[in-house]
Chains A and B, each alone.
Chain A
């Protein structure tokens, strides 16, 4: 019993230090100044109760794609803001995957109300795939209200995740053009004329 208290106390003391320590992945892949700036954003997200893994991943993506330190820090800070908005929209119980997907939805210009309506229809089931599909439809060029209505219809019918993914594939094929290369509404021409 005594030993458990000691271990518990030690963990309490060590926890803040551990959380403030720089993520080893950042230190190994970014220059020290960039890693430190990213870590500050990560720490502030952690203090605000936001998921930090998407922020680290964003920084690592920037590192792999060869972005400058400034650009990486700006992208990570922007994502932190989007995660904040995502939690405001979906509530504190939203998972990391849901918040990450919702942040992407905001980047695509979708309003929080669309995500809240989706949440109300998917009670108890993950929102990550439906939100990701909704975001992708908008990126594909489907008008936001039309894409939202299609996704909400599926959610209302209680469809599983794979049917949302199927909707995405169907729309991609349709957007590639169901019509021919012929311009829209170009009339059928008159009969041939010998010149």
Chain B
């Protein structure tokens, strides 16, 4: 109950935040080849709209994938997620996630999946680890299947490469169409409706699997690459290797060429089959880059992990959110790179009032006498001296 109250409070405070929301989106359109497991291979055309909205600690996202598949069959996948983050407590942060996903198919009943959970992050912004736990329910083939997922992972930036790995263990109770003698049926994936005739007593099979996935993102000569490589380990479902490679390059403002290839694994939760694919297409950046409606940088949230605002007497107030630390120091070009100690400010805040001129400034912070690093919430820049700093524009 207390947890619900906390989440509600965060959501309400996000809604009341003075920060205007930020909307970003893409529209991918492509064509290629598609080779599903145990079905007809052939050419496909895809349309993929995606939107993401962020306001304070609240983030909403939605995606749709429409694919015109071989033999006149079309498939649609829709997904939406809502996410709320707590403020950063030092190097600790919590995230609550709720998501829904559904599919629709030509003359065949689709699937739905609802899940919710929490993730706990540990580490500074540039490299961090997390653990998460989710519960939910999937509906597919006329049955409901409760599922549980535990995961852990980590991400780090190594030079120009952003790396991430996730290990997720999923268990789902699945009703079988036929008896528990090990013999199961394979329904046609053709256009006829699938209405399995289950008996009153449905034998239940518990499926457990572990997906280990490593992904990387980097840029070479104006081309952005995304690579994913994963392996599914399981005693109850076939083990399989999944992979994906995509590359995109901007060819005009808000327009990029995208090429993608890969092998997606079957989903044991919804029984949606896996496939191999190759596609080439265009990515259109949706959402205005017009700036009149965007908030000024000074309208930062009071809970932002790092902010600089006006102070009495023409100086600037600088606040950093860092919980569970005993000392916070800041060094910057406006302090002649002399460490300045910040004073406690509220529950988890640290504050200093300094004369800072408008313009571009370079700075770093140090917690409890540790390494110099970019302040939380800023983009870290590797200094030529080896540490990390940040550059900010003060208005």
B141 touches A174 (CB 8 A): no
Residues of A within 8 A of B219 (CB): 141
- The answer, yes or no, to whether A194 is at the interface (CB within 8 Å) is yes
- A interface secondary structure, majority: helix
* Chain A residue at smallest Cβ distance from B264: A186
Among B10-18, B67-75, B341-349, the one that faces the other chain is B67-75
B24 touches A185 (CB 8 A): no
- The answer, yes or no, to whether A188 is at the interface (CB within 8 Å) is yes
Residues of A within 8 A of B379 (CB): 136, 139-140, 172
**Minimum CB–CB distance for A170 against chain B, Å:** 6
A194 touches B187 (CB 8 A): yes
Among B90-98, B115-123, B127-135, B386-394, the one that faces the other chain is B386-394
Among A32-40, A44-52, A55-63, the one that faces the other chain is A55-63
Contacting B50 at CB < 8 Å: which of A141, A167, A180, A187? A180
Contacting A165 at CB < 8 Å: which of B37, B222, B296? B296
Contacting A149 at CB < 8 Å: which of B81, B186, B253, B281? B253
- The answer, yes or no, to whether A87 is at the interface (CB within 8 Å) is no
Among A1-9, A10-18, A96-104, A117-125, the one that faces the other chain is A96-104
The complex places the Cα of A168 from the Cα of B378 at a distance, in Å, of 12
* Chain A residue at smallest Cβ distance from B32: A185
Interface range on chain B (Cβ under 8 Å from partner) = 35 or more
**Minimum CB–CB distance for B166 against chain A, Å:** 9
B294 touches A163 (CB 8 A): yes
Given A97-B360, A185-B28: A190 touches B189 (CB 8 Å cut-off): yes
Encoded as 1 (CB less than 8 Å from any A CB) or 0, chain B from 136 to 152 comes to 00001100000000000
The complex places the Cα of A191 from the Cα of B79 at a distance, in Å, of 16
Contact count A vs B, C-beta below 8 Å: 253
- B interface secondary structure, majority: strand
- The answer, yes or no, to whether B124 is at the interface (CB within 8 Å) is no
B186 touches A194 (CB 8 A): yes
A167 touches B246 (CB 8 A): no
**Minimum CB–CB distance for B366 against chain A, Å:** 9
Contacting A162 at CB < 8 Å: which of B32, B48, B297? B297
The complex places the Cα of A185 from the Cα of B262 at a distance, in Å, of 10
**Minimum CB–CB distance for A125 against chain B, Å:** 13
- The answer, yes or no, to whether A132 is at the interface (CB within 8 Å) is yes
- The answer, yes or no, to whether B85 is at the interface (CB within 8 Å) is no
Which of A64, A75, A168 has most B Cβ within 10 Å?
Answer: A64
Contacting B52 at CB < 8 Å: which of A67, A75, A177? A177
- The answer, yes or no, to whether A178 is at the interface (CB within 8 Å) is yes
Given A183-B246, A185-B28, A188-B66: A67 touches B385 (CB 8 Å cut-off): yes
- The answer, yes or no, to whether B250 is at the interface (CB within 8 Å) is yes
A-B pairs, 6 with minimum CB distance: A67-B385, A192-B271, A60-B337, A166-B294, A183-B244, A188-B75
Query: With contacts A187-B277, A190-B75 known, what are 13 further pairs, Cβ within 8 A?
Result: A57-B336, A57-B337, A57-B362, A75-B384, A129-B360, A132-B393, A143-B250, A172-B379, A179-B26, A191-B105, A191-B189, A193-B189, A194-B186
A residues with a Cβ closer than 8 A to B are: 25, 29, 57, 60-67, 71-72, 75, 78, 97, 100-101, 104, 128-129, 132-133, 136, 139-144, 146, 149-150, 154, 159, 161-163, 165-170, 172-174, 177-180, 182-195
